[in-house]
Amino acid sequence: MALTILKVGKFDMLPELEAQLKERGSYYVDNALSESERAEVRARTDIVVASGGSQFKAPDFDSCPNLRAIVCFSVGYDGIDIPSAIAHNVFVTHTPNVLNDDVANTALMLLLNCTREAKAAHDYIERGAWGKEPALPLTTSIGGKKLGIAGLGRIGKEIAARAAAFKMEIGYYGRHQQADVSYRYFGSLQELATWCDVLLLAMPASPDNFHCVDRTILTALGPQGYLVNIARGSIVNTADLIWALDHQIIAGAGLDVFEQEPGVPEGLQHRSNVSLLPHQGSATKETRQAMANLVIANLDAILQGKEVLTPVPGTRKI
Ligand code: 8YV
């Protein structure tokens, strides 16, 4: 029987990955199907291809009784109901490590863009202001400043290494202190926010950290402090962030991720101290290709009965 492969969630599928999926089975896009087509296709779906923003919950598992695997074209899998996957003996794979460098580079790009107000400087040139209007206001140096990383995992460590090269002092918060890490540890997000000049979010999203960056944390970060988020929009209470920017509770922000993607609230836009990216962390040709290769390597391992390369922790390996 030919394989049925279903893309779930709105994300940009790499054409090379789509072509390789089509070589392995009949390929469907969930949100392009009518309700009746969707029910019919889901009833015979073997493989779901998902991404960081895809949602796949208990009723979705029920609608796909033949599902063997969910292969994620992303490191994040916060929209997937992992306990249901385990209960249904479904493989779930993701793409860790291959995107660490580009996501860490994006974090530093946002950090420099917002502290040095790169957008305002670019606009100044483009409107012909250089030499005509007063010079731009002086900006903020990151050298010697304290970077507080919330979530010192694979990506957080790459960010720390880069920030150390920019002469920043590093501290981190996570559930546990890491024995092999010499950076200063903080036992709570609030203590980290109080200590640091830049609060950088690099942890996976979970129900536990929904909106954990709120008025209290932003107030602790303070009027000289910057927030950088390359993790997930759900971690930050957006209304509180807009309030903090409106009232100079913090100095600025660099954001790659948002609560309702695609889309950025007006209240975050058109500010010289806020740098915005439309979820570009892993969006280079090289990294997306490496992610696609890992998706296919995992899928082929599943189809050949071999151990998967990068299972989501706790899920089926063979
Ligand atoms: C992209 C990401 O959103 O890997 C993740 O978790 O958020 C990003 O790499 C995306 O999943 C690529 O399709």
| Whether 176 is catalytic | no
Q: Report the relative pairing of strands 274-276 and 26-29 from DSSP bridges.
A: unpaired
List of domains in the chain:
4-98+285-303 (3.40.50.720), 100-276 (3.40.50.720)
Indicate if ligand 1 lies below 6 Å from the C-beta of 106.
no
What is the spatial distance between Cα 310 and Cα 308, in angstroms, rounded to a whole number? 6
Nearest 10 degrees: CA dihedral of 157, 160, 162, 168? -170
Q: What is the DSSP letter of 236?
A: B
What pLDDT shows up at residue 1?
A: 66
Q: How confident is the model at residue 233 (pLDDT cuts 50, 70, 90)?
A: very high
Indicate if ligand 1 lies below 6 Å from the C-beta of 76.
yes
Mean pLDDT, rounded, of the chain: 98
What is the spatial distance between Cα 49 and Cα 94, in angstroms, rounded to a whole number? 10
Cα torsion 140, 142, 148, 151: sign: positive
Q: How far is the CA of 11 from the centre of ligand 1 (A)?
A: 9
DSSP string, 77-141: -TTB-HHHHHHTT-EEE---STTHHHHHHHHHHHHHHHHTTHHHHHHHHHTT-TTTSPPPPP---
Indicate if ligand 1 lies below 6 Å from the C-beta of 54.
no
Most informative mutation of 7, 72, 75 for ligand 1 (most atoms within 8 A of CB): 75
Indicate if ligand 1 lies below 6 Å from the C-beta of 96.
no
End-to-end Cα distance, the chain: 21
Report pLDDT digits (tens) over 268-299: 999 999 999 999 999 999 999 999 999 999 99
Catalytic residue selected from 232, 271, 288, 316: 232
pTM greater than the 0.95 cutoff = yes
In this structure, what token pair is assigned to residue 98?
């291959």
Report pLDDT digits (tens) over 93-106: 999 999 999 999 99
Nearest Cα neighbor of 95 from 230, 293, 279 is 293
Report pLDDT digits (tens) over 153-209: 999 999 999 999 999 999 999 999 999 999 999 999 999 999 999 999 999 999 999
Task: Please name the residues in contact with 246: beta carbons below 8 A apart, sequence gap of 6 or more.
Answer: 267
- At 206 the three-state DSSP class reads coil
Indicate if ligand 1 lies below 6 Å from the C-beta of 153.
no
Residue type, 307: E
H or E stretch including 164? helix 154-165
| Whether 261 is catalytic | yes
